[in-house]
Structure 1
Amino acid sequence: MLQRAIFIDRDGTIGGSDQVEYPGEFKLFPHVRDSIDKLKKSGWFIFSFTNQPGISKGKAAKEDYELELKEFGFDKVYLCAHQQNEGCKCRKPSTGKLVQAAMENDLDLQECVVIGDRWTDMIAAHEAGCRKVLVRTGAGEEAFTNYKNSAYYGIWGAVSPDYVAPEFQEAANWILATI
C-alpha cells in the first residue's frame, strides 16, 4: 500500500522570516512543534522540502540543516543546496525532491500535501499532483496578494492552493480535519 506524506518548507513556513536564516539562528513559530507531532500521530510522514543555496556558497553545512530539522520532528529532509541559476532538477519549483521522496518512501504523491509560503512551493506541488497549502507567514502574504491579483497565471496555468492558512498551526488543523 502506498504511503502519504506532508512536505513542509522551512524558511517563512515553520519559522524564521522571508529571509534565509541558518541553523542555530532559526526559531520555530509558536505551536509548530505541537502541530508536527499531531500530524505524525495521525499517520502522516513529515518531510522537509526546502531550497538552501547557502550550502553551495559555503555558508552552512547540509548536515546542520538535517540535524536541526530532525530535532523539530521531521522524519526526513529533502533539501536542494543548488543556486537558482544552476538549472538543477531538485530546486523548487522543480519536482525532483518530491519524485525522489516518492520513490524512496513508496508514496502516492496525489495523497501527499505540500505546505509552503512561496509560489515555488505551490508550483512544485501542482506539477507533482500534491495538494497545496499556502501559509501567509514569511513570504506568504506577498504570494497570496499576487495570487489574488492573478500574477501567477502563466506558463504553469492557473495554479491555485487548495487552502490558504494564516499560519502553520491552522494549515495542520485543516489537513487533520479535511484529508
Structure 2
Amino acid sequence: MKMDIQAVFLDRDGTIGGDDKVHYPGDFKLYANSKMDIDYLKKFVQVFSFTNQPGISFGEVNKEDFYNELMGFGFDDVFLCPHHYKEGCNCRKPHPGMLKDAAYKYQLNLNHGVVIGDRWSDMVAASKTNSVRILVKTGAGMSTLHEHFEKLKGIEIDFVAENLTEAVNWIRGRYHLS
C-alpha cells in the first residue's frame, strides 16, 4: 500500500548540519548533501524546518536570524520554538505544537507527514501526531539510541538512518518518489 506524503519536517541542529550542540546563524554549517536533499524533497512535497531554539528567550540571538538562515537553505516554511523548556510552552519538542501549527497553516494531515530528526524529542513529537519517524545517527542520534532510549519507550521509529541522505533515499524508495 502506497501512502502519499504531504510534508517532510526536518530538525535543524544535528540533522541538516552542525552537531549535537546549538550553533547560532552565522556559525551553523550544513552537511555536504543537505541542500541537495532539501531541494530533492521539494520536488514532491512541502519541506519544513522545525526546531527548538531557546537561545532566543535568553536574548542571545533573534528569531529572524534563524528564520532567514533556514529559508535560505530552501525550506518552504520555518516553525521555531523560541522558549526555554522551563517556560512550559506547547510548541517545544517533545510537544507537537510546531507540527500542529504547520498542519493548521497548510491544511496538512500529519498522518501523511514525515519527521526526520536526531533527538528523542523529535521522535516523541512525531509520534504524538502519528507522523512517520526517521531518526538520523548524526548529531545527537547515537546518544538518542544508546543513552535516551528510555524516553522512546512505546514509540516505534520507522527507520534509523546514518544521515539525512540515507533518510531521503529511504523515503524515495518507500513512497516511490522519483
TM-score where L is the length of structure 1: 0.92
Match of 2:107 in 1: 106
User: Whole-Å Cα distance in 2 between the matches of residues 167 and 115 of structure 1?
Assistant: 10
Per-residue CA shift, 1:57-114, capped at 9, x if unaligned? Answer: 1111100101100111101000000001111000000011111110100101000000
Aligned to 2:11: 9
The amino acid across from 1:77 in the alignment is: V
Structure 1 residues not aligned, in runs of 5+: none
Query: For 2:147 and 2:55, how far apart are their aligned partners in 1?
Result: 27
- Computed over aligned residues only, the root mean square deviation of the Cα atoms, in angstroms, reads 1.4
- Seq. identity, %: 49
Matched ranges for 1:39-118 at <5 A: 39-41=41-43, 43-118=44-119
2:5–2:114 contact (8 Å) kept in structure 1: no
Q: CA deviation at 1:144?
A: 1.6
CA displacement at 1:176 relative to structure 2: 1.2
Contact 1:3 1:108 in 2 (8 A): no
Q: Which of 154, 162, 165 in structure 2 is aligned with 1:166?
A: 162
Give the deviation of 1:146 after TM superposition.
3.7
- Secondary structure at 2:14 match in 1: coil
Question: Runs of 4 or more off by more than 4 Å in structure 1?
Answer: none
Deviation at 1:4, TM superposition (A): 1.0
TM-score (norm 2): 0.93
Report what 2:136 is aligned to.
135
Gaps of 5+ in 2: none
Q: Which amino acid aligns with 1:67?
A: N
Matched, 1:33 2:35: yes
Change (3 A) 1:54 1:120: same
